[in-house]
Chains A and B, each alone.
Chain A
Amino acid sequence: MSAAAGAAPDARAASLTAVVVRLKLSLLGNGLRRSGGRRAAFVTSAVVALLFAVLQLLGLIALRGHAHIASAVVPGAAVLAVGWAVMPLFFPGGDETLDPTRLVMLPLRPRPLVRALLAASLVGVGPLFTVLLLAGCAVAVAHGAAAAAVSAVAVVLALLVCVALARAVAAANIRLLTSRKGRDLAVLSGLVVAVGTQLVNFGMQRLGTAGLGTLDPVAGVLRWVPPASAIGAVDSASRGAWGVAAAQLALSTAAVAALLATWSRTLTRLMTAPDASTLQDDGGAVRERAGRSGAARLLPAGRTGTVMERSLRYIWRDPKTKAAWTTSLAIGLIVPVFNALQGTGSPYFACFATGMLGIQMYNQFGQDTSAFWMVALTISSPRDAYVELRGRALALLLITLPYAVLVTVLTTGLLGRWPELPEVLGLSFALLGAMLAAGAWTSARFPYSIPQEGYKNVAPGQIGLAWISLFGGLIAAALLCSPVIALAVWANVSASGPRWTWLLLPAGAVHGAVLTLAGLRLSAPRTAARLPEILTAVSRS
């Protein structure tokens, strides 16, 4: 350090930038060196991402001159920026060079540090992917030499906005991201990907049928919002609106400056304030409760209500349970309703909601993790086990039953096929009952543990068990509700059938209820007899 101390400040800043960029490159390299599987995964994902970006680039170039192309690429740039903004929230451990708390012991000034970290942020597959997409967006709307020149500036500006946005968001939330709550949040990222994919899928289908023109009003607003405004500037320049183009570029530049200033200020505060890990965190307190709170008082007394209350709290508070539930709720709604919106669906798709939510009954005790010992110690008879399982099933029904009805009514209504409502509801109830029965039984017979850390949902060595539990359970559920399915098929194919379809509603409801009760009755003695075995199975990590 002493040699560098005499050098000009600029040279030092440049050397710091070089050091940090080199650090980023070696971290990337080391990450790859750790294991073959990791390397393969990284190379594959990088190749796929770049291939996708190149195809996008070619596609957008091919679309040059399309009437509404600006309405596609301007929102495209905005979506890209949103992606960059949420990325650090879901992959907090993603980039060690960019974690300012690791640099806190070094004598660094904010300005060179921001410059160095920004440079390091521009290294990697993500920025390369973004540049390719942005270049495609710019080329698609650029016409003429002047617009091409604006494009070059616009792409750089848009990239800088994206990267600076990601950094500013990450720095502002570093306390959150390194805390337990941040790790909880990361577990939900899978859900965002799952639901996002469905939404994008349907959005694309919609655009495919309705045309890009539908996006015109959205693009009209976004062309003034950085970084989309940079792409907007290219479009304006192509149409000869130089003043507008200049304003849009200026807006993007101002955004970069503002984001960098915010980031720099947060960094300074982080470097001078005490480390989060040494601070007493009092954010985890749940709301003050005197006795049983409002909604909880409505639950039944005794073990049933206690079990229901705990199950419902876990749906909200446990990140894994919450992610599973939210995914089920979202997909269970999106698939039937979006298909109905496009007129391609069938009311029977509404059973999807029941199916997705019924799965939550499977592996009940695995969801408890090794905390199951607290349950095991209070079950001393098949009766206790029955009440325990029934409480869990009731908690699930409390959400699933109204939700299934809602989705079914919504789907049928959107399709305008009201006469089919009773039979679809009946089928839904039968399916739900069958899944609760099969779920309770496989919970007792084939429990497996769910690791609490990371994204895995099955512990190593129990994958076979999980398959038996889930797929065996699903097949069993299908078989159990086959009488009602057969009845529905008969009602729809036979000549006198349609007159009797309303019968499917009571038949399905009764069938489902009987299956649930029978399933719980059969599972209870198995659970009570196998407590130590279940505990061992769900305690594997």
Chain B
Amino acid sequence: MSTCAVRVRGLWKRFGQQIAVAGIDLELPAGKFIGLVGPNGAGKTTTLSMVTGLLRPDQGSVEVVGHDVWQDPVAVKARIGVLPEGLRLFERLSGRELLTYSGRLRGLPAPEVDRRATQLLDVLDLAGAQHKLVVDYSTGMRKKIGLAAALLHNPEVLFLDEPFEGVDPVSAQTIRGVLERYTASGATVVFSSHVMELVESLCDWVAVMAAGRIRAHGTLSEVRGEAPTLQQAFLELVGAQGRDAGSDLDWLGGGAR
């Protein structure tokens, strides 16, 4: 396997007047737990959509495990799993039906799909709700069934857009456990988040994004540098330092009212 899971060159995307992604060059190492961090509106979702072939870039190329996403979709689509943010699932299927549907669309034999679906539902704590329609699932359950669908065909690279957003702590811990086991076997996880503490505790490699560009990338310690936390390093990188709210709002809080 190549040591580079994803290679992005000169990636651009513009929506009308707004430039969402302004020329990204990035090489993500294989077999790592990779975090794509940045504030809301930094272009994380747009980037992940283009990398996974769900959005056509204006310019640039993307390779996943050595295959071009737009030239060689057969090789790429079989090797990636995706959990997008803000897109629906086929919600009028039950959890199990959704997994069966997804697995069979990918050409897996029916008994194998059944076996894998049963195990995934068990591990992700969804066995009790497997016959409920996904439309009646909570946010955490939706993320978990989406993750199960993304993992079902055992992809080499898993792309997760905000997998922990709106997820309760118990579900988050379950998701985390599954992902850690998955990367330990040599697979690659790329996930986006704006919660620095989470990225710091999970990832061994991070790319920091702001305003459509990559501001820093490398191992966690490289990106963190001298700063005590990733949060501090990030604030320095995006230039949000010194905007201390201390001088304004001096009336707020205890004392004279």
Residue numbers of A with Cβ under 8 A of B are 180, 281-282, 284-289, 291-292, 301-303, 305-307, 309-310, 313-314, 317-318, 368-371, 373-381, 531-533, 535-536, 539
Contacts and interface: CB of A to CB of B under 8 A. Distances in A.
Contacts, number: 101
Nearest to A307: B105
Given A285-B131, A291-B114, A380-B73, A313 B89 contact: no
Contact of A377 (B53, B110, B133): B53
B74 A381 contact: yes
9 smallest beta-carbon distances between A and B, as pairs: A284-B136, A380-B73, A306-B104, A317-B92, A378-B105, A370-B87, A380-B74, A371-B88, A532-B56
Most chain A CB neighbours (cut-off 10 Å) among B106, B107, B136? B136
B87 A313 contact: no
Interface in B40-87: 52-56, 73-74, 76-78, 80, 82, 84, 86-87
Interface string B86-97: 111111111011
Nearest to B101: A310
A306 B136 contact: no
Contacts of B135: 180, 284
A104 B135 CA distance: 28
Contact of B94 (A286, A301, A318, A532): A286
B156 to A, nearest CB: 15
Nearest to A310: B101
B77 A374 contact: no
B102 interface: yes
A368 B88 CA distance: 9
A309 B98 CA distance: 11
Contacts of B36: none
Interface in B108-125: 110, 114
Nearest to B96: A289
B7 interface: no
A377 B54 contact: yes
B49 to A, nearest CB: 8
Contact of B131 (A281, A287, A375): A287
Most chain B CB neighbours (cut-off 10 Å) among A180, A310, A374? A374
A371 B136 contact: no
A381 B74 CA distance: 7
14 contacts: A180-B135, A284-B135, A286-B131, A287-B131, A302-B107, A368-B90, A371-B90, A373-B82, A374-B105, A375-B105, A377-B54, A377-B82, A532-B53, A535-B55
B149 interface: yes
A222 to B, nearest CB: 40
Given A310-B101, A378-B77, A371 B114 contact: no
A381 B90 contact: no
A54 to B, nearest CB: 45
B217 interface: no
B92 A313 contact: yes
Contacts of A286: 94, 97, 131-133
Given A289-B96, A314-B92, A370-B88, A378 B106 contact: yes
Nearest to B91: A371
A314 B98 CA distance: 12
Contacts of B87: 370-371, 373, 539
Contacts of A305: 104
Given A306-B101, A310-B93, A373-B84, A380 B54 contact: no
Contact of A369 (B78, B88, B131): B88
A539 B97 CA distance: 23
B201 to A, nearest CB: 29
B89 A374 contact: yes
Nearest to A370: B87
Nearest to A309: B101
Contacts of B92: 313-314, 317-318
A10 to B, nearest CB: 47
Given A374-B90, A380-B77, A303 B53 contact: no
A202 B102 CA distance: 46
Contact of B136 (A180, A313, A535): A180
A532 B54 contact: yes
Contacts of B90: 310, 314, 368, 371, 374
A380 B78 contact: yes
Contacts of A371: 87-91
Nearest to B94: A286
A50 B66 CA distance: 71
Contacts of B105: 303, 306-307, 374-375, 378
Contacts of B110: 291-292, 301
A538 to B, nearest CB: 10
Contact of A533 (B53, B56, B100): B56
Contacts of B86: 370
Given A281-B136, A318-B92, A370-B88, A288 B53 contact: no
Interface string B203-238: 000000000000000000000000000000000000
B88 A377 contact: no
Contacts of A380: 73-74, 76-78
Given A370-B86, A374-B101, 15 more contacts: A281-B136, A284-B132, A286-B132, A302-B107, A303-B107, A305-B104, A306-B104, A370-B88, A371-B90, A376-B53, A377-B53, A378-B105, A380-B77, A531-B53, A533-B56
